[in-house]
Amino acid sequence: MPKTVALVGTDAVAEAMRQINPDVVPAYPITPQTSIVETYSQMIADGLVKSEMINVESEHSAMSAAIGAAASGARVMTATSSQGLALMWEMLYIASGLRLPIVMTNVSRTLSAPVNIHCDHSDSMGARDSGWIQLYSENAQEGYDNILQAIRIAEHPDVQLPVMVMIDGFIISHSIDRLDLIDDDAARKFVGKHKLKNSLLDHENPTTWGAFDGLHGYYFELKRAQAEGMKNAAAVVKQIGEEYGKISGRYYSHFETYRLEDAELALIVLGSAAGTMKAAVDQLRSQGVRAGLLKLRMFRPFPAKELVSALSHVSDVLVFDRSDTIAGEMGGPVFIEARSSFYDEIKRPRFKNFVYGLGGRDLNLDMILKAVASSQTGNLITYLGVRE
């Protein structure tokens, strides 16, 4: 039966994995992701799932093992954070290039140097063009829900791409939250059974995997097909979000809006800061400012057309990034893509960027209100909360 529980974010992910019961889970520990695979390994030891846990010597090996297992036809899940994701870099492109539907939780944590174990989005945003679908979560409930949907998205025949689900390090991963879990049978029915069309171990229908494809091969055509899979993912994410809503009561799409319908000022954010942003919108409304929020859930593929439609009526857009591109005066990745979405539009709102929270620094209500107050006269890009 469905039940309401109190769990930390990492255990919420492990609970979704238990309901999915993947065939193989290769993983290597790293703060703050470690608790996911610790909890899941205990579930294996207790006989709650039949997954094979592979304890490897590094995150590079974890993704390598995931690729091999997925190519053999197994349903594969893993998890990582920060430097662990960076160590997987080479293999991320191989997983997506081979069109393998691996699902990985990334517990978002800043990248060194200097060494820092707290939350920002520099790890996942660094991997934004690696060919992985990216879904961001506001809280543990969304982390749980996104994991269950990610399996369906990744394995959809029109997509066949790996999916990365983000939860913010410590803010979500190590905080206790209230969750509504769907029934085990409903979850298993929703995710269904996995059948890879072309398996490495199908000796009756042999296929080639990872071969050299030189100057006169089909590398370009394969990449074009991969791009089509990512393009198809947008509709699939929405479709599966609607299906999930029918069994959970929680419907998902590319993004969520809050008091945006009649807004003149829009705030854009992703991840755990959305809760604070909603409070800021309410405060601004009480002050006579017609503000609204667009909380991005799907960053890859980027929902450019849908975003333009949702924001076409506003005069100003403030984009809050928890990472920076370090590209001169270009701003953060969400800002760059949101602003670029309006390039061909005749009517374009004014965009401002606020880079916040690097290394886990707090974003509070007062900071957001001050950012809004300064947006009409301030710089195009502002580092919010930095000591200068």
The residue extents of the domains of the chain are: 3-248, 255-383
Compute CA distances 181 → 2, 105, 200, 297, whole Å. 6, 18, 35, 20
Sheet holding 255-258, edge to edge: 255-258, 291-296, 265-270, 316-321, 350-355, 381-383
Residue 152: the pLDDT is: 98
| Cβ-based neighbour number of residue 333 at 10 Å | 24
As beta bridge partners, residue 135 has 165, 298
Structure tokens at 230: 């990512």
Q: Tell me how far apart the alpha carbons of residues 165 and 299 are, in angstroms, rounded to a whole number.
A: 11
User: Token pair of 127, please?
Assistant: 């991997």
Per-residue model confidence (pLDDT) at position 186: 97
Residue 83 · residue 62 · CB < 8 Å: no
Q: Per the structure block, which two tokens stand in for 346?
A: 């005749």
Return the pLDDT at 388: 76
Pick left, alpha or beta for residue 61 (phi over 0 → left; psi -120 to 50 → alpha; otherwise beta).
alpha
Please state whether the predicted TM-score (pTM) of the whole model is above 0.85.
Answer: yes
Q: Residue 344 corresponds to which tokens in the numbers above?
A: 């061909």
- Tell which CATH classification among 3.90.1300.10, 3.30.365.10, 3.40.50.920, 1.10.10.10 matches the domain 255-383: 3.40.50.920
Q: Which residue has the tokens 């982390």?
A: 143
Same fold yes or no, 3-248 and 255-383: yes
> What's residue 24's pLDDT?
98
To which H or E segment does residue 43 belong?
helix 34-45
Q: What is the mean pLDDT of each run of 10 residues along the chain (388 residues)?
A: 94 98 98 98 98 98 98 98 98 98 98 97 98 98 98 98 98 97 98 92 90 93 97 98 98 98 98 98 98 98 98 98 96 98 96 98 97 93 93
Q: From CA 125, how far away is CA 336, in angstroms rounded?
A: 12
Beta pairing class for 291-296 and 255-258: antiparallel
**352 membership: H or E segment, kind and range:** strand 350-355
Q: How far apart are CA 88 and CA 105, in angstroms?
A: 13
pLDDT at 111: 98
**CATH homologous superfamily of 3-248:** Thiamin diphosphate (ThDP)-binding fold, Pyr/PP domains (3.40.50.970)
CA distance 195 to 178: 34
pLDDT value at position 1? 72
Cα dihedral 96, 222, 230, 74 sign? negative
Q: Cis omega before residue 206 (within 30°)?
A: no
Query: Under a CB-based contact definition with an 8 Å cutoff, are residues 107 and 33 in contact?
Result: yes
Distance CA 299, CA 289 (A): 28
- Closest residue by Cα to residue 261 from 212, 294, 233: 294
What sign for the dihedral angle of Cα 235, 236, 237, 243? positive
